[in-house]
């Protein structure tokens, strides 16, 4: 037993977090390779390394996954100071970390750093795929930076191979992500690039992208659905997600064949961006002005939001709740109570419908709360649930309102 315990303790030193071990870079120049400030790490690795997101068998493991900033030529390498071997550890082997990552990469990735560095000069010849839809500038640290958004399709020469490299990021930054079938021509791609100068020459760096699938809507319309949206970590928290989504909206809003826009299982972060953009746009609509908001959610709001902004009824209701909270004087008990009752009435709807909407309630409740079904939940439990749900909703909305106040 003592020997087993000793071996177990010895092996613990060979475990590490995959989230810490994997190092990404978007390389613009050779000096970036040694600059720690250009390194960023994954948000998640469970889609490659299991729920524990751990790697076994190495000491001081670093998985280098580098991309040239424009063309996304990929370099993969593994470094460590020691590795478990069957000869030294009674037949125990290390995880095949290199193979695990490599199988998710398209063919042609590099494993020699010198060869990778030699390809960087070719980034100067890169031109974004598709059509330019929007350009804008942001200022960070007193430096003005320019960005451009393009719309591309798989028919654009070279884009298929480029997308294969671009989509590898989603496994590390979008939960439950999977690669899409690019042969389906109903996919559209919105690409974000930073445009900068190097030695006086214009250059591009990939900053993010969004995929959209056009579903058929009877009898002769389509319903575009946002599937994946990712702003790469070096560019996050600078408003690029809102710019990307707004550009997509602008592309759809004037098209008569678009019924409305939906989003596939949005993450909390994306839903916040969506709420902000939709609220900002609805603030300009007549039906969402303060005097109308105080009268409650209406069919007029639904119709105007859909016709002018292609917003679904469910999202229009959510925007109404955000904008009504923004317009509500919380120091006035009567106004704030009216708002609370309006939201709780909507939250209470699944209880009224019972079994038909049980799945919705299931997603809203914590696991221990699911022990109670709708039919046997006491009135007190229901009130506690509604109060908790209201407070959580309020916290989310307040973040959106804070951002809207900066407009």
Q: How many helices (H) and strands (E) does the chain have?
A: 15, 14
148 flagged as catalytic = no
Contact 174, 268 (CB under 8 A): no
For 221, phi then psi, to 5°, come to: -125, 175
**Helix, strand, coil shares of the chain as percentages rounded to 5?**
45, 25, 30
CB proximity list for 222: less than 8 A, separation 6 or greater: 214, 215, 216, 257, 258, 259
Angle at 86 between CA 82 and CA 88, to 5 degrees: 60
Cα Rg for the chain, rounded, in angstroms?
25
Residue 152, Cα to own-chain centre: how many angstroms? 19
Strand, helix or coil for residue 48: helix
**Count of CB atoms within 10 A of residue 233's CB?**
18
From the candidates 30, 96, 104, 264, give the one annotated as an active-site residue: 264
C-alpha distances (whole Å) from 281 to each of 23, 300, 310, 316 are 38, 16, 11, 11
Cα distances (angstroms) measured from residue 114 to each of 29, 37, 122, 186, 285: 13, 21, 14, 40, 57
Q: Which two tokens stand for residue 233?
A: 């970590």
Distance (Å, whole) CA 270 – CA 263: 9
**Contact predicate 127/204, CB 8 Å:** yes
* Terminal alpha carbon distance of the chain: 66
Active site residues: 264
């Amino acid at each position: 037993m003592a020997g087993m315990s000793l071996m177990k303790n010895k092996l613990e030193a060979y475990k590490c977090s995959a989230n810490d071990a994997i190092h990404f870079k978007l390389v613009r120049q050779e000096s970036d390779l040694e600059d720690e400030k250009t390194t960023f790490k994954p948000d998640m690795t469970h889609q490659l390394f299991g729920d524990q997101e751990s790697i076994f068998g190495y000491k001081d493991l670093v998985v280098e996954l580098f991309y040239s900033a424009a063309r996304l030529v990929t370099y993969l390498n593994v470094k460590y100071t020691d590795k478990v071997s069957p000869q030294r550890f009674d037949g125990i082997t290390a995880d095949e970390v290199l193979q695990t990552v490599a199988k998710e990469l398209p063919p042609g990735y590099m494993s020699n750093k010198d060869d990778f560095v030699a390809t960087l000069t070719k980034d100067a010849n890169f031109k974004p795929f598709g059509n330019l839809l929007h350009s804008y500038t942001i200022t960070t640290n007193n430096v003005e930076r320019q960005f451009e958004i393009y719309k591309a399709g798989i028919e654009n020469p070279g884009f298929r191979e480029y997308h294969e490299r671009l989509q590898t990021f989603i496994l590390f930054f979008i939960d439950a992500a999977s690669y899409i079938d690019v042969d389906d021509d109903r996919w559209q791609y919105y690409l974000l690039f930073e445009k900068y100068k190097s030695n006086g020459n214009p250059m591009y760096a990939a900053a993010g992208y969004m995929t959209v699938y056009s579903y058929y809507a009877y009898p002769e319309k389509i319903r575009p659905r946002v599937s994946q949206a990712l702003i790469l970590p070096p560019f996050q928290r600078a408003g690029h997600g809102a710019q990307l989504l707004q550009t997509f909206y602008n592309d759809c809003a004037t098209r008569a064949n678009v019924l409305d826009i939906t989003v596939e299982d949005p993450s909390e972060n994306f839903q916040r961006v969506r709420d902000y953009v939709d609220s900002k746009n609805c603030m300009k609509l007549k039906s969402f002005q303060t005097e109308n908001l105080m009268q409650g959610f209406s069919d007029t709001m639904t119709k105007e939001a859909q016709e002018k902004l292609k917003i679904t009824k469910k999202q229009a209701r959510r925007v109404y709740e955000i904008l009504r909270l923004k317009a509500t004087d919380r120091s006035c008990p009567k106004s704030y109570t009216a708002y609370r009752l309006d939201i709780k009435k909507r939250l209470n709807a699944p209880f009224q419908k019972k079994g038909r909407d049980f799945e919705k309630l299931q997603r809203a409740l914590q696991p221990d709360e699911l022990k109670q079904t709708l039919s046997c939940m006491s009135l007190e439990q229901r009130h506690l649930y509604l109060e908790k749900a209201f407070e959580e909703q309020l916290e989310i909305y307040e973040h959106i309102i804070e951002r809207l106040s900066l407009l």
